[in-house]
Chain A
Amino acid sequence: MTSPPKAPTPPFASLPFARVRPGKIITWTLLFIGGVMMVTPLLFMFSTSLKTSGQIYDLRLIPADPTIQNYVTVLADGRFLKWFMNSMLIATVVTLSNLFFDSLVGYTLAKFEFRGRKLIFIAILSTLMIPTEMLVIPWYLMSANLGWLDSYWGIMFPGMMTAFGTFLMKQFFEGVPNDFLEAARIDGLNEFEIWWKIAMPLVTPALSALAIFTFLGNWTAFFWPLIVTTSPELYTLPIGLTSFAVEQSIQWEMIMTGAALATIPTLVIFLALQRYIVRGVMLAGLKG
């Protein structure tokens, strides 16, 4: 008995990419192009921050004569640290406030039955459809009437609680099984303790996402802080960096150095919290 003849081996069959389907190649190509488009400005930012003012328009990615002098200059400038700390304070307080109030309201709307619950939720949700530009004038008038202009509170108050955060947290809390909350009620916790000690740890992915979005949004906020502040000592980092663009010239190397330094906290926040986003622990206490 003879064995059937073997099919001819296609060329390059042993190479690792030989079995990749064309669809995947297109996907990877598009992702690669997208990645390059997103990373290139960042690379130019770091590259420019290592150049002298004379080399700014030399578009080589790796500077011919890199220097850290711009960093020394920016860090030695007391104003930069002040703006940095202002941004840090505002972004941190607003983020913590959102984590607290958005999740408290989201939990209440998700887990308690009361008259008008749906109406309140729709009212909160409808504010998402109003553009910020329309809100700035009422915010400004309110700040002026209450004496909040040119103050930290004036910068922070519009973002202390957001409709988006409330919506996000409500959706996540709806996924928390009621058995956990009822078990806690029987264990003797009051409603605030149930929210804080039982429900909140179960939605850490949502809290992490909300923290990242809120921190980044406030760290990079420009429009409202520009309108509400007039004193340079209250400037946030994005506002402060514009002062490197003076009438006669724009100090691109300084702006890019400041921007490069400004990315550090956002990177830290993202790296610190991203693992909580992917860690879903909620179902581990239920049936196996």
Chain B
Amino acid sequence: MAMIELKKLVKSYGRTDIIHGIDLEIKDGEFVVFVGPSGCGKSTTLRMIAGLEEVSGGEICIGGTLVNDMDPKERNIAMVFQNYAIYPHMSVRQNIAFGLYTAKMSRQDKDKRVSEAAETLGLTQYLDRRPAALSGGQRQRVAIGRAMVRSPSAFLFDEPLSNLDAQLRAQMRIEIKALHQRLGTTIVYVTHDQVEAMTMADRIVVMNGGHILQAGAPMDLYENPVDVFTARFIGSPSMNIVQGREGADGITSDPGGNLKLGIRPQDLLVNQPVPDPVLTLSGPVTVVEPLGHETLVHFQAAGQTVIGTAPGGQAPAVGSQVTAALPRGRLYTFDATSEKSLGRK
């Protein structure tokens, strides 16, 4: 296990900077998730930690050792790829054992490690199969097994679940989280799926345009986003952003206002009594999404589509007029120009 430090880390391709001097300290045993849209630099950062990309500037330290010029194999890290990258010409056993390729240990010890990893991941009965005979989830487990056997100082995961179907993804999320709790090894995990980030991370690092926008505990990011981008990226469905202003009569929506008002769909209660609401929006319903326990109601208000929530059994009809209210303390305000947070109202 090891602490990973990124100090003024820069990555450039030619004259184009991709990563703009980021600083981050990942604690020993911490599960950190890099999240952000495609092209934000999260995978590049992970690949620099792995040693698969050269560092253009700054430092990467793993376990207190500067690793900028070390080969991947010297860094004692293990990586699980988006495409699994398990070797198709080898059996599951050989694939997992390949993680111990450079390990100086006896054949018996290697076999023992492989068996233990296979047992942990439920792969024992597939050890002699080739990857072609495995399902997507099993292949991903083999990739994790190959990483596990080495007892690395850190695991790096590069969007490992993005090729799995929704059910399998949910299952693997739990398995990876359980694995982290059992092994206690530092994990750096890259994803563009905020649900993965929220459910798995000890700490989420939100990236955009090669910068770290915010790093913090999942609920901290959810409750206290520093800007509009983070606010919209964390939470599902995305936060509604409505232009508005604050006047003597309180906060109101206003297309020419100097504020951006952030409203989580879960907080915007449709056709429900809310005492002393901080904001009220009304308009015709355009789309209704019944989710069972609640209903997402899309309606037109403040010149745009806004999403609110109604109780599960009370879906309003499409075209009907609804009124939605936001309880006090649940309105996020941002400066309309800088999009930086101005706190909650």
Q: Does A179 contact B (CB under 8 A)?
A: yes
Asked whether, in the complex, the Cβ of A202 is within 8 Å of the Cβ of B88, the reply is yes
Q: How far is the CA of A182 from the CA of B134 in the complex (A)?
A: 22
Asked whether, in the complex, the Cβ of A285 is within 8 Å of the Cβ of B146, the reply is no
Q: How far is the CA of A217 from the CA of B88 in the complex (A)?
A: 32
Asked whether, in the complex, the Cβ of A187 is within 8 Å of the Cβ of B163, the reply is no
Tell me which residues across on chain B come within 8 A of A282, comparing CB atoms.
Answer: 88
Tell me which residues across on chain A come within 8 A of B308, comparing CB atoms.
Answer: none
Asked whether, in the complex, the Cβ of B87 is within 8 Å of the Cβ of A180, the reply is yes
Q: Mark A255-288, 1 if CB is under 8 A from B, else 0.
A: 0000000000000000000000000011111111
With A284-B131, A285-B131, A286-B83 already in contact, the answer to whether A185 and B52 are too (CB < 8 A) is yes
Q: Does A183 contact B (CB under 8 A)?
A: yes
Tell me the smallest distance from the CB of B138 to a CB of chain A, in Å.
9
Tell me which residues across on chain B come within 8 A of A185, comparing CB atoms.
Answer: 51-52, 71-73
Asked whether, in the complex, the Cβ of A284 is within 8 Å of the Cβ of B88, the reply is yes
Asked whether, in the complex, the Cβ of B136 is within 8 Å of the Cβ of A186, the reply is no
Q: Does A189 contact B (CB under 8 A)?
A: yes
With A281-B89, A288-B163 already in contact, the answer to whether A179 and B83 are too (CB < 8 A) is yes
Out of B73, B78, B84, B132, which one reaches A281, CB within 8 Å?
A: B132
Q: Does A232 contact B (CB under 8 A)?
A: no
Q: Does B77 contact A (CB under 8 A)?
A: yes
Q: Does B10 contact A (CB under 8 A)?
A: no
With A186-B72, A187-B102, A287-B163 already in contact, the answer to whether A198 and B50 are too (CB < 8 A) is no
Tell me which residues across on chain A come within 8 A of B88, comparing CB atoms.
Answer: 202, 281-286
Tell me which residues across on chain B come within 8 A of A147, comparing CB atoms.
Answer: none
Tell me which residues across on chain B come within 8 A of A158, comparing CB atoms.
Answer: none
Q: A171-216: which have CB < 8 Å to B? A: 177, 179-180, 182-189, 198, 201-202
With A179-B83, A186-B79, A187-B99 already in contact, the answer to whether A287 and B146 are too (CB < 8 A) is no
Q: How far is the CA of A288 from the CA of B99 in the complex (A)?
A: 22
Chain A residue at minimum C-beta to C-beta distance from B89? A201
Q: How far is the CA of A195 from the CA of B71 in the complex (A)?
A: 17
Out of B52, B73, B79, B130, which one reaches A188, CB within 8 Å?
A: B73
Out of B51, B83, B101, which one reaches A187, CB within 8 Å?
A: B101
Q: Does B135 contact A (CB under 8 A)?
A: yes
Q: How far is the CA of A185 from the CA of B75 in the complex (A)?
A: 11
Asked whether, in the complex, the Cβ of B89 is within 8 Å of the Cβ of A182, the reply is no
Asked whether, in the complex, the Cβ of A286 is within 8 Å of the Cβ of B73, the reply is no
Q: Does B325 contact A (CB under 8 A)?
A: no
Q: How far is the CA of A285 from the CA of B99 in the complex (A)?
A: 15
Tell me which residues across on chain B come within 8 A of A285, comparing CB atoms.
Answer: 84-88, 131, 139
Tell me the smallest distance from the CB of B12 to a CB of chain A, in Å.
15
Tell me which residues across on chain B come within 8 A of A198, comparing CB atoms.
Answer: 87
Tell me which residues across on chain A come within 8 A of B222, comparing CB atoms.
Answer: none
With A180-B87, A186-B73 already in contact, the answer to whether A287 and B79 are too (CB < 8 A) is no
Q: Does B229 contact A (CB under 8 A)?
A: no
Tell me the smallest distance from the CB of A219 to a CB of chain B, in Å.
29
Q: Does B299 contact A (CB under 8 A)?
A: no
Asked whether, in the complex, the Cβ of B52 is within 8 Å of the Cβ of A284, the reply is no
Q: How far is the CA of A253 from the CA of B87 in the complex (A)?
A: 53
Out of A186, A187, A286, which one reaches B84, CB within 8 Å?
A: A286
Q: How far is the CA of A287 from the CA of B132 in the complex (A)?
A: 10
Asked whether, in the complex, the Cβ of A286 is within 8 Å of the Cβ of B85, the reply is yes
In the assembled complex, 18 residue pairs joining A and B whose CB atoms fall closer than 8 Å, in A order, are A177-B85, A179-B81, A182-B52, A183-B81, A183-B86, A183-B87, A186-B78, A187-B73, A187-B146, A188-B73, A189-B101, A202-B88, A283-B88, A284-B88, A286-B85, A287-B82, A287-B163, A288-B136
Interface residues of B (CB under 8 A from A): 50-52, 71-73, 77-79, 81-89, 98-99, 101-102, 130-132, 134-136, 139, 146, 163
Interface residues of A (CB under 8 A from B): 177, 179-180, 182-189, 198, 201-202, 281-288
9 cross-chain pairs, A with B, having the tightest CB-CB distances, nearest first: A188-B102, A285-B88, A284-B132, A288-B136, A284-B88, A188-B73, A287-B163, A179-B85, A201-B89
- Apart from A182-B72, A282-B88, A286-B84, list 5 A-B contacts with CB within 8 A: A182-B52, A186-B77, A187-B98, A189-B101, A286-B83
